[in-house]
Every structure is written in structure tokens, then in C-alpha cells.
Amino acid sequence: MGKDNKVAREEEKMQGTISMTGLIAYLVASIEKMKDPRQPSPNTTYSLKDAVLGGFSLFLMQCESFLEHQRQLHSRNGRDNLQTLFGAIKIPSDNQIRNILDKIKANSLFVVFSDIYQLYFKRS
């Protein structure tokens, strides 16, 4: 359950609650430890981090479809909510997210939920 410095700093900032920034920091720290299931290629356009964050944002925003999710992501000022809220660099399409996430074992993200549960448990 080791945490990197970024997560530890975020944890120190949180006083009694876990902020959205803190949740995303936990998720990003876990993503950075994951092995990308794709073959290394100079043609790889989207990072594993951007694909996982794209999938997470879909569920967080509770969209009924990927298309609606893409519409909601795009803001009026030319920058997407996925970039602003989650720190994604490039935004994969729904098919690209599916193609990348389908190759990832779900249990590789279980540590995120375990860490967050433990943090809540300690604070209650």
C-alpha cells in the first residue's frame, strides 16, 4: 500500500475528507505503476493514464453513453474537462478507450479502492 510523495502530500492537505484531487491522485499513482498492455510503438498516440482517466471520468460524470460523455467533456474555452479536472494530456475517443481498457485486468486498480477505504476507515 505504498504511496508516492504526491499522494502523501495530498493526504496531508486533506483534513477529515478526501477531495476529488486526492481521489484522482490515488488513481494516477496506481495507473503509473501499471504495465501498459500494448506493444511499445512510436505510433502510440494515447497514454495508458489518459485512457484510464477517460474511462473513470465517464463513470464519474454518470453519462449514459460515450458520445454524450465526449460532448460533456468539451468546454467552451477550447480546453476539455478531462484535461482540466483529471490532468489528461490527450483525449482518446470512446473506441480508443475501450480498446486500451479491454486489455487491462480490473484487479490492477483494486489497490486504489483499498487505499481509499483504509484512509476513510482511519478517519472515522
pLDDT in tens, 44-96: 899 999 899 888 887 777 777 766 666 666 655 555 666 777 777 787 888 89
DSSP, residue by residue, 16-78 = SS--HHHHHHHHHHHHHHSPP-SPP-TT--S-HHHHHHHHHHHHHTT-SSHHHHHHHHB-TTS
User: For the whole prediction, is pTM greater than 0.75?
Assistant: no
Per-residue model confidence (pLDDT) at position 1: 45
Say if residue 102's pLDDT is above 90.
yes
CA end-to-end span of the chain = 19
- Element housing 92 (H / E): none
Q: What does the block give as the cell for 88?
A: 489528461
